[in-house]
Structure 1
Amino acid sequence: MLDGMAGGAVEAGTESLTDQLTTRGDVMMFTTTVSGRSASAMWTASRLALSGLVFALLGACSPDSQATDSDNRAKALALWQSHCKKSGEFIKKTIPDVDGVLLMKIRKTTNRDGQYELDDPYGHDSMGDHYIMSFLRGYHHQKGGVSPEGSPPRIGYKYVDVADEADHKVYRYTGGVEAVGKMNTKAPAVQFELKLNPNYDTNIYEFVLHKTPASGEAPRYGVTYDDISTPEDRKYWIAGSSLRVMDLKTNEVIAERIGYMVDLGQGNRSGGRAPWLLAADNACPDFFANYKSPVARMPKVVGQASQTMIFVEKVLKPSK
């Protein structure tokens, strides 16, 4: 609002400017002189703009506005709690010795504040190739370390099949940790390691994804998801999610996780706030429910990472 009004004030006085206008963020400074009449007009316009801003802020902080916010928050909480009664993980059967799965959808975007975008903010964990890699063996244990006791196993599968939207062909993805480059041997830290151990490995390692046309037997089981929010849910910043494991031979849903989360800030974006990221703090099931050991105090959005694979692995047990 200030930009538009300030712009109007500048336009009103441009005929009398003898030099230039300097802009720094939201503050405009004249570095020249203007005629008394133009300066007076601009000063009046600026006062009107500031007065409008003050009244707008006072309106936002008025008792009526605060009462409305409180009422919406109470309605949102009640609706979310009613949804939570039917949320949870529902597993009809588990399947042992599964080599690979078909990912029927790939997440492509992160929705931080789109109130009515039905792209499953609850189920979001990662996108594109990272979503694919999260299902592959070795991706979660690249460093060779041991996960904290009580953490999900996250073993991963030998391969993942994905239908390419561009050519509609099915491709098979595999992956592993490979050397992708060399360290700078002139860097002080690397030189220090080489002095301690002349055979120090200077390779740089990353988890590398390999894509080839799918061949052989197709996976029997697939993974898909949907946003199940209603317009009423989104009115109160509630996101609902259905994550399903399918038997592709019988078209049967053999497991489903139903989840809901709510932004109790009701879409407030002040200070760069991202409503859907903070909604993860009010989720059912809780995003840290799969961690049996105590979890350090951190935003619940951290627990969303690889949540899809963690649930699927409970149903489709990876082969040895």
Structure 2
Amino acid sequence: MFTTYDLQQFLEGVFTLFTWVYWGTMLLMLAILVPMVFKKGKSQSRKILNAIGTSAGIIVLFVRIIPMLLMMALGPSKAERQAAEEWQRKYQTAEAVFKQQCEKAGEKIYRTVENVEGILLLNIVPESTHSDWSNPNWEYAALMKEFPKEGYIHDFLRKKRIKISQPTEQDLTVHIPFNANPADYVFQNGYQFIDVLQDNKYYRYTVKQMPSRVDFNIEEIKKPVRYAVKFETHNHPEYRKHWVAGVHFSIIDTWDNTILAEKTIYSFDPKQGGPNYGRKPWENAVYCPYEDYQNSLIQARFFVDKVLKPRQIQERKNDNVN
């Protein structure tokens, strides 16, 4: 069966053959024409000049002229080059805007709280569609890494896996990587419950583990917990036209309305929304703070539990929340 590897080998063979023929032709012309013009010289100096001139002409022909003609024939047209230059200018402008905004990105932690059993989410990430992912003005673009609706709530309830030797290597799972040593990892509980503000009412979510899926126990409550998390999206048109989006998280002590911590995140699509072909621009965006993005810690949960530290207990209901 003819495979892609076979095709690659065939094309490499064709290219090698062309290279040998091309440079072989040049050497053959040098071998034939240089002696010929050398003999036609009337004096020794003239013979040498004829030979040098012919050699130089052949070399220039094969090294400069023919490659230039091939590039003109096979390379991009003037319109294509202009379009590429215009896109490059557009990208550089957008990248500069992103870098400028990234100077404001990062987190500020003013106070932490230990042994927190539950938190209040003042808003959650809504559902989105494919058209949202391709829309430069999509309000929640900087939250693309978050699961929507109940998935966002669930992330705060899940256990977190941490690599002991590299604490920045974290993930929301109870599974050990394949071929890894279980002793290299520790696990931390998520929160035991999440209160959510929805339709001007408060609901408490806890997890009940089903045989093949995760489900929630949901009950309406009158009084939510003390510590709250909210986000505000940045939708400035001047930034959005460059495919730059942002979001600001705040962790609040609702008893005195003070800010315990805050974090700003920006996302940027380097390809400026294209080419399309089913591509999801915001899904392929880059983020700052870059360190969090690089370590896959851009999700809100990883920031919140640094401030509101979940209570760690030996046994708890739904202990295997994943």
TM-score band (shorter)?
0.5 to 0.7
1:130 match: 151
Residues 1:172 and 1:71: Cα distance change in structure 2 (over 3 Å): same
Structural mapping, 1:100-179, within 5 Å: 100-110=118-128, 111-122=132-143, 124-138=145-159, 144-146=174-176, 155-165=189-199, 168-179=200-211
Against the structure 1 CA distance between its residues 150 and 102, is the aligned structure 2 distance closer, same or farther, given a 3 Å change threshold?
A: farther
**Displacement after TM superposition at 1:69 (Å):** 0.9
Amino acid at match of 2:106: G
The separation in 2 between residues aligned to 1:220 and 1:60, in whole angstroms, is: 64
Distance 2:231 2:208 in 1: 26
State which structure, 1 or 2, has the greater radius of gyration over its C-alpha atoms.
Answer: 2
The corresponding residue for 1:236 is 242
Q: Which residue of 1 aligns with 2:30?
A: none
The corresponding residue for 1:310 is: 302
Q: CA deviation at 1:112?
A: 1.0
What does the per-residue CA deviation read over 1:245-274, in whole Å, with 9 as the maximum and x for residues that have no partner? 111112222111111121111111432121
CA–CA distance in structure 1, aligned partners of residues 78 and 282 of structure 2:
22
Counterpart contact for 2:159–2:173, Cα < 8 Å: no
The change in CA–CA distance for 1:132 and 1:238 in structure 2 (over 3 A counts) is same
Structure 1 or 2: larger helix share?
2
Q: Deviations 1:95-141 (Å, cap 9, x if unpaired)?
A: 11111111111111234111112224246410111111111155989
Structure 1: segments with no counterpart, 5+ residues: 1-57, 180-204, 292-302
- TM-score normalised to structure 2 length: 0.61
Q: 1:97 — aligned with what?
A: 115
- Equivalent residue for 2:257, pick from 251, 255, 268: 251
- Matched to 2:268, the amino acid is V
Does residue 209 of the first structure (1) align with residue 216 of the second (2)?
Answer: yes
| TM-score normalised per structure 1 | 0.61
1:240 to partner: Cα distance = 1.3
- The one-letter code matched in structure 1 to 2:115 is D
Instruction: Write the deviation string for residues 52-104 of structure 1: whole angstroms up to 9, x where unpaired.
Output: xxxxxx99963332222111100111111112122111111111111111111
Cα shift readout 1:193-252 (whole Å, capped 9, x = no counterpart):
xxxxxxxxxxxx43221101225x531111111112421111111111111111111222
Q: 1:250 aligns to what SS in structure 2?
A: coil
* RMSD (CA atoms): 3.1
Q: Which residue of 2 aligns with 1:79?
A: 97
Gaps of 5+ in 2: 1-75, 162-170, 313-322
Cα 1:72–1:304 shift into 2, 3 Å: farther
Partner amino acid, structure 1, of 2:271? G
Taking a change above 3 Å as real, the CA distance of residues 277 and 61 of structure 1, as seen in their structure-2 partners, is: farther
Please give the alpha-carbon distance, in whole angstroms, between the structure 2 residues aligned to 1:64 and 1:151.
Answer: 53
Check whether the contact 2:196–2:204 (CA below 8 A) recurs between aligned residues: yes
Shift of 1:314: 0.5
- SS of the aligned residue for 2:157 comes to coil
What displacement does 1:284 show? 2.7
Q: Equivalents in 1 of 2:207, 2:111: separation in Å?
A: 28
Change beyond 3 A, Cα 1:144–1:310: closer
Aligned length: 221
1:313 Cα deviation (Å)? Answer: 0.4
Instruction: Provide the C-alpha distance between the structure 2 equivalents of 1:163 and 1:59, rounded to a whole number of angstroms.
Output: 57
SS in 1 for 2:256: coil
In structure 2, do the counterparts of structure 1 residues 249 and 88 end up closer, same or farther at CA, with 3 Å as the change threshold? Answer: same
Contact residue 91 and residue 256 of structure 1 kept, 8 A? yes
Letter in 2 for 1:79: V
Alignment partners' CA distance in 1, 2:186 and 2:232: 24
Determine the structure 1 residue equivalent to 2:268: 262
Question: Superposition pairs for residues 33-44 of structure 1, below 5 Å?
Answer: none
Q: 1:178 to 1:120 in 2, by over 3 A?
A: same
- For residues 258 and 212 of structure 1, what CA distance do their matches in structure 2 show? 32
